Amino acid sequence: MEEKSSMKVSLGRCELPRLLVTANLEILRNCYDDLARNFECIFAYGSDLNEVKNLLSDQRAWFCSPCPEYYIDHEILCSAESLEILVTPSTGITHIAKEYCDKQNIYIATLKDSDVVNNIYASSEYTFALILAASRNLVPAVNGARRGEWRENEGEYRGVELNGKTLGVIGYGRIGSNVARYARSFGMKVIAFDPYVQINRKDEVDQAQNILDVLQTADVIVTCVHLTDSTKEMMNRKTFSKIKNGAIFVNTSRGEVVDEAALVSALEKGNISAAAVDVMSNEQSLVRRNSPLLSYSEKNSNLIISPHIAGLTLDSERKAAEQSIEHLKKHFDITCKTPVS
């Protein structure tokens, strides 16, 4: 199978639901085969925007990438007159125009609130990896070694131990609670704020009554929230100004949770010593390339940016794909596999 090519699988035996697949299933052969048995599929991972528009014209379902290079808006979807369901193997839908889908009665199926989500640990583990990388200046040290440097610039590489420090978790859901558990195994204290969760005392986590308690107490702060009207730019100039001096900030939730100019300002002023983010605002737009975060990181080593890869593991992608396929089968009432001829 050639990468970034479109291939139509048509069994010709009976009429199967037409499905466009732009998620990368080439690494998940069982999922690929499962879809090919039960749907009339066009596998088009890597197709550009214009090709996707053309392919959508007569599709009843779309299994999209969780991180496409384009925003799935009305300009794309208006040509999809037969589209009934749009499945994304992610919990968030910042890459999809939900209001337009609602108006057109296109059902969006996500991983949010599904049982499988609680068995996916990739994003939680990666969030803690960013905590370690930021606290130990790992990226500058690795880059220095590549340049042939060793300990001559050790002042740039010197970090801090996590043991005895306090982790502040904003959003104590699946990822937040996992990161808190990892932190405790490192000997960290944990304080968390989440107005929608009653934290069990057995978790050995102090539950803050407001976000200010976390900001002023924690040595490391992680945001683990869903993007909503109330969380959009919740980390702004005001909140960054309240953070404990010298703290480390980590965000793996959604880029829009952070006012990026305010984060850069906090780094420049030294309000926070370092930051690590796996997400940015407007990821599906060329605007991201003009981001103040990218501009700052080009000249400063205390900001780590990775390209939204927290969930990018074979294990998590397999679990997410399998759940997404279940959404499709349930929608079309497919209860058995069609034998391959």
What is the number of H-type helices and E-type strands within the chain?
A: 13, 13
Look up 308 and say whether it is catalytic: yes
Query: Which of the following is catalytic: 18, 95, 254, 327?
Result: 254
Integer angstrom CA distances of residue 218 from 147, 222, 243, 338: 35, 10, 8, 55
Assess contact for 218 and 195: CB atoms under 8 A.
Answer: no
Assess contact for 149 and 203: CB atoms under 8 A.
Answer: no
Look up 283 and say whether it is catalytic: yes
Query: Which of the following is catalytic: 181, 288, 308, 331?
Result: 308
Query: Which of the following is catalytic: 256, 260, 283, 317?
Result: 283
Tokens of 65: 């990438």
Amino acid identity, residue 287?
A: V
Integer angstrom CA distances of residue 55 from 58, 143, 223, 231, 261: 7, 43, 38, 36, 39
What is d(CA 36, CA 19) in angstroms, rounded to the nearest whole number?
A: 9
* Cα-to-chain-centroid distance, residue 316: 12
- Residues acting as catalytic residues: 254, 283, 308
